[in-house]
Amino acid sequence: MRRFLIAGNWKMNTTRQSAVALAGELATAGSNYEAGVEILVCPPYPYLIPVAEKLSGSAVQLGAQDVYFEAPGAFTGEVAVEMLKDCRCRFVILGHSERRHVLGESDEIINRKLRAAISGGLQVVLCVGELLSERQAGQTEEVLDRQMQGGLSGVAEADAANVVIAYEPVWAIGTGVTATPEQAESAHEHLRNWLATRYTPGFSENVLILYGGSVKADNAESLLGQANVDGALVGGASLKSSTFVPIIEAARKLSART
Ligand code: PEP
């Protein structure tokens, strides 16, 4: 049975002090959620170490928001997989819509990062999702297929086992507009079928597919209650424990029911 994963993407937010305080609150809350619900936080790079220290011994896992695909060397401004491992990261988010659409990352770059991350021992949250114009043009599935194909190009099933997919419709990220549970489920089912065809049905059944896009306490249960929604990637609402913990709590309630 798939577990729930509730991930917080802090983006370029928090200070060292607020990041450590938030990590401390989540570490305390996380001790109640060991069965069936995993928690992940992804702070900005400079706060990975103090947050890792605060999370030490807790059930809350640590991830980064990006990584570079080359080994350490002359790549000014970049961060290598080994460095994230050294900071106790277990996960890295790749292909987030802000990296695709603000920073211009291609599927090819995302794929190079993904392969480097996995071969270096990180788990990857691979984000895919369509623009509003693409949804309105009826191209959602085509876009998802292209991003999945590009991101997972050359990745064998054994390595793909280290990938979590996050379906994040771009029009729902940070906008307050959420996909309906039906829209989310339809995209997630499509992604799971894609994985079954690209790999095997047995493999596909075990892949976690998170939903992201304005997830909040009041919509979490209906989204997480969908058959193919295995968790959430949360931006804005992950910045305070008072808004993030209720999302974790919604997952816990649903996992206790199954
Ligand atoms: C995100 O950044 O991945 C995200 C889903 O943001 P928000 O929850 O703020 O829409």
Q: Which of 38, 98, 134, 168 is catalytic?
A: 168
* Burial environment of residue 246 by CB neighbours within 10 A (0 to 12, 13 to 18, 19 or more): middle
pLDDT at residue 30 greater than cutoff 90? no
How many angstroms separate the CA atoms of 54 and 181, rounded? 35
Q: What is the pLDDT of residue 15?
A: 98
Q: Which neighbouring-strand residues pair with 38?
A: 5
Instruction: Find the mean pLDDT for residues 212-230.
Output: 97
End-to-end CA distance of the chain: 9
The percentage of the chain sitting over the pLDDT mark of 70, rounded to a whole number, equals: 98
State the pLDDT confidence band at 34, using cuts at 50, 70 and 90: low
Does the beta carbon of 151 lie inside 6 Å of ligand 1? Answer: no
Domain 4-257 part of CATH 1.25.40.10: no
* Ligand 1 geometric centre to CA of 10 (Å): 9
Query: Cα dist. 162→102, 149, 158, 257 in Å?
Result: 26, 16, 8, 27
Judge if pTM exceeds 0.95. Answer: yes
Q: Which neighbouring-strand residues pair with 128?
A: 167
State the pLDDT confidence band at 36, using cuts at 50, 70 and 90: confident
Q: Is 105 considered catalytic here? A: no
Q: Is 96 considered catalytic here? A: yes
Tokens standing for residue 100: 């695709």
Q: To test ligand 1's pocket by mutation, which of 9, 127, 164 has the most ligand atoms within 8 angstroms of CB?
A: 9
